[in-house]
Structures are given as structure tokens and as C-alpha cells.
Amino acid sequence: MPVADGAPGRDDRRVSTAALPPPAASPPSGSRLWRLMRWWMPVVIGGLLLGATSFLVNLSSVQERGEANDQLVTDTQWVRQSLQFQLEHDAEALELIGSDLRTGAMAPAALEARLRVFLRRGRESLSASLVEAGQAAPLLDVRDASVGGQDILATVPAVFIEAAMERAARQSEGTFGQPFTATWGAGLVLVVPAGLGPTGARRTLVAVFSLERLLEEMVPWTFAQSHEVIVSDVTNTVKARRASAGAGRGIYTHQVALDVPGTTLILRTNSVKGPPDWIANVLRGGVIALAFFLFWSLYALWADVRRRVKAENRLRDEVAFRRAMGDSAVIGLRARDMEGRVTFVNPAFARMVGLSEEALVGRTPPMPYWTPERLDEYQERVERVLSGQASAAPFETVFQRADGTRFPVVIYDAPLMDADGKQVGWMSSIIDVTEEKKAEERERQQQERLQTAARLTTMGEMASSLAHELNQPLGAITSYLTGSINLLEKGDVSKEELAAALAKASAQAQRAGQVIRRVHEFVRKQEPKRVPVEVTALLDDCRALIDLQARRDGVRVAVTVEPDLPPVYGDPVLLEQVILNLTRNGIDAMAGCPPERRRLEISAARLGAWVRIAVRDYGSGIDESLAEQVFSPFFTTKSEGMGMGLSICRSIIELHDGRLGFRRLADGTEFHLQLPPGQ
């Protein structure tokens, strides 16, 4: 309800229209001014709106014309470049043929084939001829198949050809003649000097092009549908025209010079578009735009509200899901921002380091789970990660729990992105690999026990031969000592004779001790050691044990070592085990062979940067169906074998960064191992 002026404290319900002052009581000047403003303000606003609308419409029309003209200029320049490039390309191709004729690089018999290839390069080429001065007819006239039997060269005005020939002769290069009109349409002639004939007369290559075909070939179909394209001479005489959609309306036009060697053509484009009907378009467009904008605004507002509600629900579900996933994960998850501050840890990581999530979130380096002696290493790693230089490969290190116990971990780092694809930090997956390390250690110890068992098995098979080998030096020692005692009892022995007998006994004792020491070193369990190993010394150390079994089975052993082999880097005992295993397998493979075939060949030589040791036997070989299983664990062809020998050998060689393989030969088998040279 209205409230009376000057009565701010009165109750609104007690005010009536009778309490209001009459209109005449208001100041006359204020009333007139208000009436004027009330009536003229919409007029002013309408006038301003009309003026603004007219200005915008005119501006739009001018802008539309300007954009249409700019687009026409750009398209015309593009068409000009296409036409000029094609003509220049044709001129270069014909100039190359003329150059080959002038220099003798091309035989005259090959000219016709070259000209036919030239005509096939573009539809605009109608004919190509070889003309000699003083001859009425051309020496060679090659025509495009589309012209049939029509003599294209005869339709060209002679004055145009002669003028072009004179310019070509003066400039010593190809030149175009003036455009002309013939019965078949508008054309253009290209003249290229071709040297002198046998009589000394000047020869010229003459090519005739169709301007209509040139426009059809080089003007895009889309451009020709909306523009009239005209080629004329410098006098604006139209020579060729392409107007797929009819003549242009003269609203949007542009012309540009088309410069080719010897002549100048004018390229004109005339758009078939009319002036913009801006009044109807603006009115219709304005109403449609306002209505569309109103409904679109309402729909966009409604859709945005629905989208936001759905996004919030999805976000709550996603947060709950990710939280549950992080809580149930058995690997540690840790997020850091771009400054290295911890922003998130899951319960698995908190349990892993023995700290609560609250104690970890918000911490900056150094972290409480870092070991004191590796602080510099951790800090350097953090700086690399935060600077974006982190590798995608896993990183292995050691963490420390709150109680001081240490455990190995493997860390995987990945960029942490926000919804806009911007990196906001780093997400790390931390895996406690304590059990894996223990399993690796158990596997290593098991492998060592298998290697020791294999060596003991080898020595068990050699026991009888070893006893026989030791009987010889022991028997010789006994004989030498008995003889020395007898000489001493007779009393007629000289000092030199006694010293010689004792020296022989000592040599035999050293021989027996060497055999026992080599066997003891071979079967003794010890940690692998890496030292430079001479290949010759390695084979010499194995030779005594190889000869034991070879003599027992009647096998001849031949060892060949290439001079000046570089040493290999590895454990000599493990390498001896591999060689002894391979030689024992080779000797066993020849057990059923005739005595003359029982030959074991051991060779060592260079193979590029590697050292290659090969053991070759002349046994029954390996069946092709079993070749892929040779190195498989527990696979054996022996009735009493365990099937671990070759598997262990390959493991040993791979431990030394080498390769172990074999070859099936027509009369046996060759096992070979390749080792890198010593460091």
C-alpha cells in the first residue's frame, strides 16, 4: 500500500488514497519533467536501439563484402599459382627434352616416346612437334588421342609461332607465344630450341596447349561452381572461360596477371553471388537468434543444474570408491604435490612404515621413514622426481619403520593429473619386497646346493678312475723309496744317485697332491667369485679330470686354443664345472661308438668381441624331436641321470653374461659357450 510522505511511523493499514495529496499539489516543473521523460525515454531508447541496429547491420554488410572480397582474392591467387605452376612445369619438361636433343643425350629415335610421355602429363597438352626451319611440314608431330586426326599445329597462326621462335632463339630457352583462338578453342603455344639438324638448319620443339582444358584441369570444381573464371590477353580479349554455375554477377570480382615466359595473360574471377540481403536476413536471424537464445538459455540452465547434481553424486561415489580401493590395497600408495609435500597415504603405506596417516600427511622432506645414512640419496631422488626427470622404471631402496627395523621396497612414480590434464603432483606405489628378497636368497642357496650336488655327482662317477690315477704316483713313490733304502743298506750308493731317486719320489708325490687338490677345490662349496680367467689355464686345470674319464672309456682328447685369447671374467670353479659337464656328456655320448670314432675335441677361439669355447663329440647326436628340451630341468636321456646338468650349466653361463647353445652335426654334436672378455 502507498505510504504518505512525511509519515514514516504510521501504520500502513491505516493509510488510504484520501490521505494522499492531490496531483495539483506536486510541483508543476517536476510533473512536466516526469511526463516528458516518461514519453520521450522510450523514443530515445528506441532511436538508440534503431541506430545501433542500423549501424550493426551496415557494419555486418560491409564486413560481409570485405570478407567475400578477401576470400575471392585469396582463392584467385591460389588459382593463379596453380595455373602458372602447371605452365611452368610443362615448360620445364619440354625444355628438358630440348636440352637432351641439343646436347645429344637423347637419340632422335627416342624423341617420339618422350613427347608422348610429355602429352600424358596433363590434359591441357594437345600436340608436340619437331619443326625444322625451311621445312613446310614438321619432322615429327605427336598428338593427344582426344584430338583424333586433327592437325593441331596447322590451326596455330604462323605469325605467333614465328614470333615465339625468334624470342626462343634470342633467349636460348623455352618461351610461350601469344594466346590465340582456333576452331577447337583457345590455345597457347610453347616453343623450345632443339639444336641444329644435319643440314645445319635450326630445329624447334613446338607444343600446343588448350586454355579451356587448362582451366578444367587446374580450377577446383568447388571454386568453379561459385565463380566465373576467365583467361584473356593483355587487351582484355577473352580467350578461355569456365563458368559451371553461369556468368558472374559483377559484385565480387578480382583480376591478376598470369606471367609466363614470353607472354602475359590476365586471370579474372567473377563471383556468382549477389549482394547480401541483409535486411531480411537480419530480421529473421534476429528473431530466430533471440528465440533460440532464450530456449537455449533455459535448456542450458536446466541441463547445467542436472549435470552438476549428477557430477556431485558421481564425485561422492568416486571418492568413496577410491577411498575403499585405497584402504583395501595391499601395496602402499602415496601422493605428493609439486613441492614434495605428502597429500595422501593409504592405510597399507601407514602400516608399512609404522606411522599413522595423520603423522604422514602434510610432511615435507626429509621423511621419517628415510634411513639416516641415505638422506642425500633420498633427497636427490625427490629433486629429480619433482623436476620431471623421474624415470618410469621402478626404483629400489630401503625404508625404516617407526621401530627402527628396515625393509626393502620398490617404488613406481607416475604423474598425478587434475581434471584439466594439468600435473599437480606425483603418485607413488610402494611395494614391500621383503618376502621376494627372502625367496631370491632361498633360490640362490638352492641353486648353489644343486651346483655342489652336480659337482659331487661328477666326482662320484670319476672315483674309480681317480683311485687308479693316484695308484700310479703312490706306487712310483714306494718303488723309489724302496730302491733308495736298498742302496743305503748296500752302502755303495753315491750321493747323486740317492738325490735323483728322492727327487723322482718327490715329483710323484707332488703329482698326487695336485690331483687331490684339484678335486678338493672342485667339490668344495664356496661363494662365487669373479676374477679374470685365462682360457688356456682354465682348460689345463680341467684336463687332468677330463683325461681320467677319457682314458677309462678309451676316448682321445684334443685341445686347440687360439693364440693371444683375452681372459674371461668369472668364477673359475663354476666355469670348470660347465666344461667338465659338457666333456662328460660328450664322452658318455660316444660309449656305443667304435673305438676309432671316440674322439673329443675342445677348442677355444675368438668370435667377434666374445670368447667361444666348443666341445665336439662324434657320438650318436641329439634327436631333432628332443632338441628344444635339452636345457629343460629334469630332462635327461640317461637312465641314471638327474636331468639337471645342462640346466645348471646354462644358468652358470647366463650368470656370467654369456650364452650356451649346441649344434646338431651329421656325425655328432657340438656344445659351445660364449663369454664376454674380462674387464
Q: Which of 346-355, 441-450, 579-588 has the lowest mean pLDDT?
A: 441-450
Residue 450 pLDDT > 90: no
pLDDT tens across 226-247, in order? 888 888 887 878 778 887 777 8
pLDDT at 153: 82
pLDDT at position 480 is 66
**Phi, psi (degrees; rounded to nearest 5) at 243:** -140, 80
Residue 276: strand, helix, or coil: coil
Cα(368)–Cα(359) distance, rounded to whole angstroms? Answer: 9
Average pLDDT over residues 170-182: 85
Q: In the 8-state DSSP scheme, what is residue 295?
A: H
Identify which has the larger pLDDT, 1 or 632: 632
Share of the chain above pLDDT 90, in %: 4
Mean pLDDT of 93-112: 83
Q: What is the pLDDT of residue 605?
A: 93
**Residue 250 vs residue 533, higher pLDDT:** 533
Beta strand 659-665 with 668-675: parallel, antiparallel or unpaired? antiparallel
pLDDT at 575: 85
Confidence at residue 89, expressed as pLDDT on a 0 to 100 scale: 86
Most confident of 47-51, 134-138, 209-213, 571-575: 209-213
Domain topology for 528-679: Heat Shock Protein 90 (3.30.565)
Chain segment 516-561, per-residue pLDDT in tens: 665 555 555 455 567 888 999 888 888 877 887 788 788 999 999 9
Check pLDDT > 60 for residue 638.
no
Domain residue spans of the chain: 69-271, 323-432, 441-526, 528-679
Mean pLDDT computed over 646-663:
82
Closest to 369 in 3D by CA, of 413, 404, 327, 332: 404
CATH of domain 323-432: 3.30.450.20
261-296 pLDDT tens trace: 888 888 888 887 776 655 556 665 665 676 666 667
Tell me, what's the pLDDT at 31?
Answer: 63
Contact call for residues 91 and 176 (beta carbons, < 8 A):
yes
- Residue 138 neighbours by CB under 8 Å, 6+ apart: 129, 130, 131, 132, 153, 206
Q: Which three cell numbers stand for residue 45?
A: 531508447
pLDDT at residue 623 is higher than 60: yes
Global pTM reads 0.37
Nearest residue to 666 via CA among 612, 615, 624: 624
DSSP string covering 433-452, please? -HHHHHHHHHHHHHHHHHHH
Q: Which of 57-66, 245-254, 301-310 has the lowest mean pLDDT?
A: 57-66
* Sign, Cα dihedral of 85, 230, 219, 62: positive
What is the predicted pLDDT for the residue at 341?
Answer: 87
pLDDT digits (tens, 9 = 90+) for 480-499: 677 777 767 776 667 776 77
Highest mean pLDDT of the ranges 289-303, 357-371, 593-607, 617-631: 593-607
pLDDT band at 15 (very low <50, low <70, confident <90, very high): very low
Mean pLDDT of 189-206: 84
**What local confidence, expressed as pLDDT, does residue 614 receive?**
94
Specify the pLDDT at position 556. Answer: 92
Number of Cβ within a 10 Å radius of residue 240: 22
Per-residue pLDDT, 517: 63
Spatial separation of the C-alpha atoms in residues 564 and 628, rounded to whole Å: 35
Give 335's strand partners.
344, 427
Closest CA to 206 of 182, 190, 188: 190
pLDDT at site 60:
67
* Beta strand extents in 95-173 (DSSP E only): 125-132, 140-143
Instruction: List residues bridging with 189 in a β-sheet.
Output: 208
Rounded-to-10 torsion of CA 52, 53, 58, 62: 90
Range in 112-116, 346-350, 371-375, 499-503 the model is least confident about: 499-503
- For residues 501 and 480, give the distance between their C-alpha atoms in angstroms, rounded to a whole number: 6
Mean pLDDT of the region 169-182: 85
For residue 602, what pLDDT is reported? Answer: 93
pLDDT tens digits along 585-604: 888 888 888 888 899 999 99
Higher pLDDT, 512 or 253: 253
How sure is the predictor about 326, in pLDDT bands with cuts at 50, 70 and 90?
A: low
Q: Does 323-432 match 441-526 in CATH topology? A: no
* Residue 608, Ramachandran bin (φ over 0: left; ψ between -120 and 50: alpha; else beta): left
Cell of 407: 625393509
Q: Output Rg (C-alpha) for the chain, integer angstroms.
A: 52
pLDDT at 339 over 60: yes
Residues facing residue 265 across a β-bridge: 258
Q: Mean pLDDT for the chain?
A: 76
- Residue 57: per-residue pLDDT: 60
Q: How confident is the model at residue 26 (pLDDT cuts 50, 70, 90)?
A: very low
Task: Tell me which architecture the domain covering 69-271 has in CATH.
Answer: 2-Layer Sandwich (3.30)
- The CATH number of 441-526, from 1.10.3470, 3.40.190, 3.40.50, 1.10.287, is 1.10.287
Q: Comparing 580 with 281, which gets the higher pLDDT?
A: 580
